[in-house]
Structure formats: C-alpha cells, structure tokens
Amino acid sequence: MSTFTRRRLLALAATGAASAVLSACSTTRSERSAPVQAFPAAPPPPTLNNDPSFGDPRMMYAALNDNGYDIPAVPFQKVDPRYYRQVVQDPTGEAPGTVVIDTSGHFLYVVADNGEAIRYGVGLGRAGFEWAGRGVIEWKQTWPRWFPPNEMIDRQPELEKYRARQIPGKNEWEGGMQPSVQNPLGARALYIFQDGKDTLYRLHGSPEWASIGKSVSSGCVRLINQDVIDLYERVPDGTPIVVSNGLQMVANPATPQVQDGTWRL
C-alpha cells in the first residue's frame, strides 16, 4: 500500500498533526543495544480452554512467516517469564472482553468470562504514560506503515524519506516507512479512541523484545510481535479498553461490552 486515505490518517491533517498519526510510537537506536538478563526456563503457564496459543514458550515465540514477512524467534530465555503470554486469574474486575493496561506493572490483560484473563507483557515509553482512562479500540491494522514525527525527522535527517506527504488534490497521503520486521510499529497496530477522537495512543508490535517489561525513551505500548498477532485476533473493533497506572483504579463491572458476540477468548 503506497498511500493512506484521510480516514486512515484519522482526519488530523486539519489540525497540523497528520505526521504524528502513526508516530507517537517509535524506537530509538540507543535502545537496540540495551543489555539483557538471562532468565531460567519457566514451567508452561496454564491454558484457557486448552487454547494452543499458550504453553511452551519455545512454541509461542518461535519464528513464523506472517503475510509474507519472516518474524524471527524470540530468545525467550532472556525475557522475564512473568512477561510471557499466559492465563492468570483476572485481577481487573472489568467486564469480559475488556482490554486493561496496567502501566505500573507493564501488563496488558484481556478479560475472559470465567474469572480468568490473558496477560501479555508490554514495554512502555513516554507516550505510554501520557494517556489514561477509558476508550475504544477503534481501528486495527496489519503490518502498518510508520510515519516519524516532523520533530524526529528534524533531529535525524536520514528519516526525511519517511515524511508524510499529501498527494496534491487528493485526501490521500504517501511516505512513511514501509511495513517490515524492523518497522517500529511491528506486525500489528491497534488505535485507541475516546469520545470519537483519536488519543494518539497505540498498542503495537515491536522487534525490540528486550524492551518488554521496561520503560524506555520513546513509544506507546509495545508487545512482542508474536504476542501482538495473538492479541489482534482476540479483540474486534469496538473493544473497550482501560489504561491505568494501578489496577485498584480500574475495577468497574459496569464497563460496556461489544454486542456482536465476537470475543475470541
């Protein structure tokens, strides 16, 4: 895909923020060389209705080909086992189907209907702490393009080739970094809206598996690519999402649920 429609740029051109649409989440080169700690192998986590998506981390984080893109295996021994994708007792108090992000614990939960939840480890950057509250996953995208903000391009002129450009006479945009395994948005991106407006808050994949469970210098909420692919299939458009810096702040059984019956848990 070489162009984005105005809808996909979320109608931000009129506010002068179009180049930031996909740019609140990014990765700096300094993060790529961060030292990592080796962890002992953990026992397989419990399963949810015998879902094969859980179990041996060697399988969960194995190399895979997704839509023609080769995603490398994750050296899971270097990731703290508590951040592996797993089933836990639901600590959120939210309605089934709700996505809950606990920024203080670096966890993302998808609430099931049996007192359990699926938990993923996440990495957070500045943008990951800038928004909290209740919203909706309004839009999802497979292998998104990345548009660095103008401020980043000014600091790193080598990114000029990725600047967003409106096609003359059209409500379409071109530019950005094409999808790839090294793209900072990874294999999937989920876009969060509140009261019908884009929050510029994203959940997205990342090749930077070493940032999971950590707070780094930039980005929104990043997941291991294998995990964001799993998450993408479980939450439909319209999924309610809660972001908080502590789970004691989010319990609310009155949270509305998606009505189309498409929770895939």
The CATH number linked to 214 is 2.40.440.10
* In contact, 133 and 243? CB cutoff 8 Å: yes
Averaged confidence pLDDT in the chain:
79
Say if 16 falls within a structural domain.
no
pLDDT (mean) for 162-176: 85
At 37, list the tokens. Answer: 């700690």
At 27, list the tokens. Answer: 């990765």
pLDDT at 255 > cutoff 70: no
Say if 173 falls within a structural domain.
no
State the pLDDT at residue 1.
41
At a CB cut-off of 8 Å and minimum separation 6, what does 240 contact?
Answer: 95, 97, 98, 99, 134, 135, 136, 137, 255, 256, 257, 258
Measured distance between the N- and C-terminal CA atoms of the chain, rounded to whole angstroms: 31
- 243 versus 42: the higher-pLDDT residue is 243
State the pLDDT at residue 197.
92
Say if 165 falls within a structural domain.
no
At 205, list the tokens. Answer: 């994949």
> What are φ and ψ of residue 61, in 5° steps?
-115, 30
SS3 80: coil
Confidence band for 4, pLDDT divided at 50, 70 and 90? very low
Say if 254 falls within a structural domain.
no
pLDDT (mean) for 197-221: 88
State the pLDDT at residue 83.
97
Domains: count for the chain: 1
Q: For the chain, give the percent of residues with pLDDT over 90.
A: 52
pLDDT (mean) for 127-137: 85
At 85, list the tokens. Answer: 């994708």
Residues 62-110: tens digit of each pLDDT: 999 999 999 999 999 999 999 999 999 999 999 999 999 999 999 999 9
pLDDT at 6 > cutoff 90: no
Say if 50 falls within a structural domain.
yes
* In contact, 142 and 186? CB cutoff 8 Å: no
pLDDT at 158 > cutoff 60: yes
> b or e along 35-65 (b: 16 or more beta carbons within 10 Å of the residue's beta carbon)?
eeeeeeeeeebeebeeeebbbebeebbeeee
Say if 225 falls within a structural domain.
yes
Q: Give Cα 85 to chain centroid, integer Å.
A: 14
HSE, CB side, 13 Å, CA atoms: give it for residue 152: 22
* In contact, 12 and 22? CB cutoff 8 Å: no
Give the structural domain span for 73. 22-28+42-148+180-249
Say if 244 falls within a structural domain.
yes
How far apart CA 104 and CA 107 sit, in angstroms, is: 8
Least confident of 82-96, 110-124, 145-159: 145-159
Say if 170 falls within a structural domain.
no
pLDDT at 47 > cutoff 80: no
How far, CA to CA in Å, does 107 sit from each of 44, 84, 101, 221? 18, 10, 6, 10
